[in-house]
């Protein structure tokens, strides 16, 4: 099966991208369903849940690289490779699809999207920078005047 996803929050592109299901899970889920009736499935049959329980995922450590993913989906008798074609990242929206089975691999701060987030640089105008320099200079000048006035006051009080 294919699923369309919207990745506008990841890369700003508004066109839909297609992702594929893992082949052996797709075959296991659709083996008893006649062609054309797959879209009519509205609930999760118990045998599908039982098939998903023994699955295990081995994959790369979280990293900021959004264009690649490597891993393996392991079951009792099958190993299937996972690539970027089977991964839907946090921030994507599933479109034109009634249902799908998904397995969460990274959560919280350990997602590729969070690892890829960078602190935005503060944009300041030349006028803003110049004004800040003047303010710092004025503060230094006033602090110097305060010290000078305090010194003069101490001299006058002692005389």
Task: Say what the pLDDT of residue 44 is.
Answer: 61
Task: Say what the pLDDT of residue 49 is.
Answer: 65
DSSP state of 109: G
DSSP3 helix / strand / coil % (the chain, rounded to 5): 40, 15, 45
pTM of this structure:
0.55
Element (H, E) at 8: helix 8-11
How does pLDDT run along the chain (159 residues), one tens digit per residue?
A: 778 888 787 777 788 888 887 777 777 777 766 665 555 556 666 666 666 667 788 888 877 777 788 888 887 777 888 888 888 877 788 888 777 777 777 777 777 767 777 667 778 899 999 999 999 999 999 999 999 999 999 999 988
Task: Say what the pLDDT of residue 130 is.
Answer: 94
């Amino acid at each position: 099966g294919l699923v369309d996803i919207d990745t506008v929050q990841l890369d700003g592109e508004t066109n839909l991208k297609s992702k594929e299901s893992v082949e052996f899970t797709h075959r296991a889920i659709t083996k008893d369903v006649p062609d054309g009736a797959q879209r009519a499935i509205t609930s999760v049959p118990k045998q599908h849940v039982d098939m998903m329980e023994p699955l295990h995922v081995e994959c790369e450590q979280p990293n900021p690289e959004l264009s690649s993913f490597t891993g393996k989906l392991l079951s009792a008798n099958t190993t299937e490779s996972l690539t970027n074609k089977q991964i839907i990242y946090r921030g994507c929206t599933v479109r034109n699809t009634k249902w799908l089975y998904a397995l969460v691999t990274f959560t919280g701060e350990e997602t590729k999207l969070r690892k890829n987030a960078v602190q935005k640089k503060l944009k300041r105008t030349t006028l803003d920078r110049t004004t800040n320099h003047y303010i710092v200079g004025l503060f230094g000048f006033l602090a110097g005047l305060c010290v000078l006035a305090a010194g003069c006051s101490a001299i006058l009080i002692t005389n």
